[in-house]
Amino acid sequence: MARIIPDGWRELAVTGAARREIETLAVLAAGLPDDYTVYHAVHWTGINGRHAIYGEIDFAVVNRAGDLLLIEQKSGLLDETADGLVKRYPGRSKSVPVQIARMVSTLRGKLAGRGDIASVHTDALLYCPDYTVNSPETAGLVGERIVDGSRREQLCRIIQRLLPAAEKTAATPKIHAFLRDLIQLDTDVSALMGHARDLVTRVAGGLAHWARRLEFEPFRLRITGTAGSGKTQLALAEYRATLAAGKRPLYVCFNRPLADHFKRIAPSGGLVCTYHQLCDLRLRDAGETPDFARPDAFERLQGRAAELPVGAAFLFDTLIVDEGQDISEPWRDFIFRHARADARLLWLEDPLQNLYGRPPTPLPGWVTLHATSNYRSPRPIVELLRRLLPDDVAIEAASPIAADDIEILDYADTAGMFARVKEAIRLCYTAGFKKHDVAIVSYHGREQSQLTALDRLGQTSLRHFTGEYDLFGQPVYSEGDVLVESVYRFKGQAAPAIILAEIDFAVLDDKAVRKLFVGATRSSMKLILVLHEKSAATLLERLG
């Protein structure tokens, strides 16, 4: 399979001529062997609503020797005139032979201006998949350099005939560097991220679509889904549908940041809270004020809440439990008391994100649906995790987003760790990510982390949870550009670029793999691992 540069071309929704060129890319990718590389920039600039690259090069095919075949694609109808083939546009027309000649001449001129690149063969052809040339002899081009509608199935064979496979030469890397510079393949990460979010939301919506079409009574559905499988979308769909039906939903999870996140994206009208918040609400509704200054405050909170009767104000028509792997049996029983007799109950869990070592919570008689496809995390991340997980653990790489390989930075001591995190931030910025796109996730909890208490790291100000809440119950964060969180608090959330730092496991055991899994799957585009050198050696040895 040929390599296409830049990545991400399969995912972009484009129209018109750009769409036809994306279709051509699919043909080239599948039909050419891996001896070939195809450069194409229309799909990249097309994200921003433009359709332009340097000069008029639609495709540049390169073999191992660095030889070039330039392809001019003309979609739609052409006119055959006395002066050759013409493509007509609103208010103007273009001579196809002149365009191709200018394209080849410009490229050869720029190559000649580079004294460090040895002479390479340069050729060109016209590809017009929608039109059959009736008179090739008057088209203004050599007939064998025209692939029209009658020969479009032969496109890849003709390319290989005009540009035979060859051995790598000293010019090859220079040609690739030249083309990357010429076609100006600068990543517009912000534009791609917006499209990526929409795309992942769409493909991951399958879980919400099918799970909500299951019918059984009583409705007791357990979703065992891997990270990025669409569990949050399902929860949100159920929540919204309940409100639309004039009923009341309850969403309960363990992690406060996840509850805060869900509350921000969910419509008003139901109740979103953690298990402990639900206990607190029950006590306050009964006129009692919990004393959190006591060392046994949370035990007393749970015990007293369990003693209170459940009134109509705390009965719900749909009950959604998220992070079920963190919910114990006593917590389960307390939460379920808040469901009406005919309520829909959903339990969402991911055993791989069980960081607290709790045993599975039994749900006898429930229907179970397994969701093993991760739509959020790029394929390199999922493939790495698959090599770490036991053989009997199913996880499928289903992200439609292309991404770079995972970067691994190791360190020997604390000073080295800080330096490597600063380097990772720089790498994210260099890749085009903005400050708000990056999250530093510590492998440790807040108490053990050396990062989560910092206000600055070099020139970068850090935003972290202060441990306090405002009058509205919202968490208070310090001022800063880049978020830093623990892997425990960031569970259930995501960011385009993740720096998973302070990784210093002594043994790559089950707990270490789970923490790596949780941290790595927070990334939707880029992942950088910052590991102690001993941990890095152990990880690389395990990966083989």
463 and 366 inside one domain: no
pLDDT value of position 519: 94
Vertex 483: Cα angle to 486 and 416 (nearest 5): 70
Query: Shortest CA distance to 505 belongs to which of 544, 541, 533?
Result: 533
pLDDT tens digits for 377-403? Answer: 888 888 899 899 988 888 887 765 656
pLDDT value of position 400: 59
190-205 CB burial, b ≥16 within 10 A, e <16: ebbbebbbebbeebbe
| pLDDT of 435 over the 80 cut | yes
Q: Transcribe 480-506 into DSSP letters.
A: -SEEEEETTTSTT--EEEEEEEEE--S
397 belongs to a structural domain? no
pLDDT value of position 113: 73
358 and 464 inside one domain: no
pLDDT value of position 15: 44
Instruction: Band the pLDDT of 52: cuts 50, 70, 90.
Output: very low
pLDDT value of position 495: 87
pLDDT value of position 248: 97
442 belongs to a structural domain? yes
Average pLDDT score over residue span 65-88: 89
384 belongs to a structural domain? no
pLDDT value of position 186: 38
Residues 374/398, Cβ–Cβ less than 8 Å: yes
Q: How many whole angstroms separate alpha carbon 170 and alpha carbon 422?
A: 35
Q: H-helix or E-strand containing 345?
A: strand 339-349
Tokens found for residue 519: 């941290």
Tokens 């052409």 sit at which residue?
78
207 and 253 inside one domain: yes
Residues 62/68, Cβ–Cβ less than 8 Å: yes
408 and 349 inside one domain: no
Q: Which residue has the higher pLDDT, 122 or 10?
A: 122
Q: What's the total number of domains in the chain?
A: 3
392 belongs to a structural domain? no
Pairing of strands 316-321, 249-253: parallel
pLDDT value of position 139: 78
Percent of the chain predicted with pLDDT > 70: 87
390 belongs to a structural domain? no
212 and 152 inside one domain: no
pLDDT value of position 56: 55
Tokens found for residue 419: 């330096």
Q: Which range (264-273, 390-399, 466-475, 534-543) has the least confidence?
A: 466-475
List the CATH number of the domain containing 238: 3.40.50.300
Q: What secondary structure letter does DSSP report for 279?
A: H
394 belongs to a structural domain? no
Instruction: Band the pLDDT of 223: cuts 50, 70, 90.
Output: very high
Residue 419 domain boundaries:
403-543
Q: How many whole angstroms separate alpha carbon 71 and alpha carbon 126?
A: 6
Domain boundary among 354, 374, 394: 374
| pLDDT of 163 over the 90 cut | yes
Query: In residues, how long is the chain?
Result: 544
491 belongs to a structural domain? yes
229 and 172 inside one domain: no
Residues 231/223, Cβ–Cβ less than 8 Å: yes
Mean pLDDT for the chain? 84
361 and 475 inside one domain: no
142 and 231 inside one domain: no
352 and 430 inside one domain: no
119 belongs to a structural domain? yes
Q: What secondary structure letter does DSSP report for 211?
A: H
Q: How many whole angstroms separate alpha carbon 113 and alpha carbon 540?
A: 44
Q: What secondary structure letter does DSSP report for 308?
A: S
Q: How many whole angstroms separate alpha carbon 360 and alpha carbon 195?
A: 37
Q: How many whole angstroms separate alpha carbon 410 and alpha carbon 412?
A: 7
163 and 211 inside one domain: no
pLDDT tens digits for 274-327? Answer: 999 999 999 999 999 888 778 888 889 999 999 999 999 999 999 999 999 999
Tokens 């357990």 sit at which residue?
222
Average pLDDT score over residue span 38-49: 48
| pLDDT of 189 over the 50 cut | no
225 and 299 inside one domain: yes
6 prior amide bond cis, ω within 30: yes
347 and 443 inside one domain: no
Q: How many whole angstroms separate alpha carbon 326 and alpha carbon 310?
A: 23
Average pLDDT score over residue span 67-85: 89
Which of 48-57, 386-395, 478-487 is modeled with the greatest confidence? Answer: 478-487
Q: How many whole angstroms separate alpha carbon 206 and alpha carbon 222?
A: 16
Q: Which residue has the higher pLDDT, 188 or 531?
A: 531
pLDDT value of position 403: 63
